[in-house]
Amino acid sequence: MTSLVLFDNGTHRNIFLEDFGRGQAVQANQHLIVDGDQGMLLDPGGHKVYAKLLSEVLAQLGPATLQHLFFSHQDPDVVAAANGWLMSTTAMAWTPVLWTRFIPHFGLDSLVADRLQPIADEGMVLPLGTSKMLILPAHFLHSPGNCQVYDPVSRILYSGDLGGSFGTQYQEVSDFEGHIQFMLSFHQRYMTGNKALRVWAKMVRQLDIEMIVPQHGAFFRGSAMVAQFVDWCERLQCGIDLMPETYLIPK
């Protein structure tokens, strides 16, 4: 597991954690935000990374405590180890209201189940230390109940699966046009449709964003690169936009 500090002003830190030793499982990034004496872990992933990630998170937290776990949606690469995280920390876990009754099927112990809290469809503000994280609605990108996190201190937008790329050997995108090939098929199939992207683009253009950091693959840094990515999303045809008029019966 490698960690990269994306932002640090002395009281607020954003740490990018990634694990490349995962065999068949999809590559995933994990993100830790520490503000003063409180930490927040985003999309902590499944059992394969749990033990390594827990020790890395505890080391990065230092004297701070893990206050929040954020599950952007219901996929196993996000929530499969939810029970472990709830059992080994005192954190509250937050997930879109659509998924609060499904995630317990991953095996939440009754002792910790009440620490899984719903995020309303319209999003919410979540205090972290002396800061406030914005939990933004990003529904149908890709999950029907899906949220993202905007950190106004570091000006990082944590975009979950949106912006995910696969097969790159770099952590940061330097050539947007050359990077599209690593995102395109994933977005065309997993993202629900252009309408969802247009609504999202309209929302995020109101924010001052320095970086967009997805849950898979490389991140986007700088206002020009961020704008390029948002423009690309806004124009993309995907999901039901690309559906055929009918399916063929298998034979």
Binding site for Fe ion (CB under 5 A): 75, 161
For residue 241, CA distances in Å to 47, 160, 192, 197, 245 come to: 35, 22, 8, 12, 11
Question: Cβ of residue 59: shortest distance to Fe ion, in angstroms?
Answer: 27
Question: Cβ of residue 46: shortest distance to Fe ion, in angstroms?
Answer: 12
At a CB cut-off of 8 Å and minimum separation 6, what does 35 contact? Answer: 11, 12, 128, 129, 130, 131, 153
- How many CB atoms are closer than 10 A to CB 109? 11
| Cα angle 171, 174, 178; round to 5 | 100
E-assigned strand segments in 86-155: 92-96, 116-119, 124-128, 131-137, 147-151
The residue (of 67 and 148) whose beta carbon lies closer to Fe ion is 148
Question: Cβ of residue 49: shortest distance to Fe ion, in angstroms?
Answer: 15
The separation between CA 172 and the C-alpha centre of its own chain, rounded to angstroms, equals 16
d(CA 37, CA 49): 24
Question: Cβ of residue 236: shortest distance to Fe ion, in angstroms?
Answer: 17
The residue (of 67 and 165) whose beta carbon lies closer to Fe ion is 165
Residue 228's nearest CA partner among 177, 164, 160 is 177
The residue (of 131 and 165) whose beta carbon lies closer to Fe ion is 165
Question: Cβ of residue 190: shortest distance to Fe ion, in angstroms?
Answer: 7
Stated as kind and residue range, the H or E segment containing 41 is strand 38-42
Closest residue to Fe ion: CB criterion = 75
The residue (of 56 and 75) whose beta carbon lies closer to Fe ion is 75
The residue (of 26 and 199) whose beta carbon lies closer to Fe ion is 26
The residue (of 141 and 204) whose beta carbon lies closer to Fe ion is 141
At residue 207, φ and ψ (nearest 5 deg) are -100, 155
Question: Cβ of residue 35: shortest distance to Fe ion, in angstroms?
Answer: 26
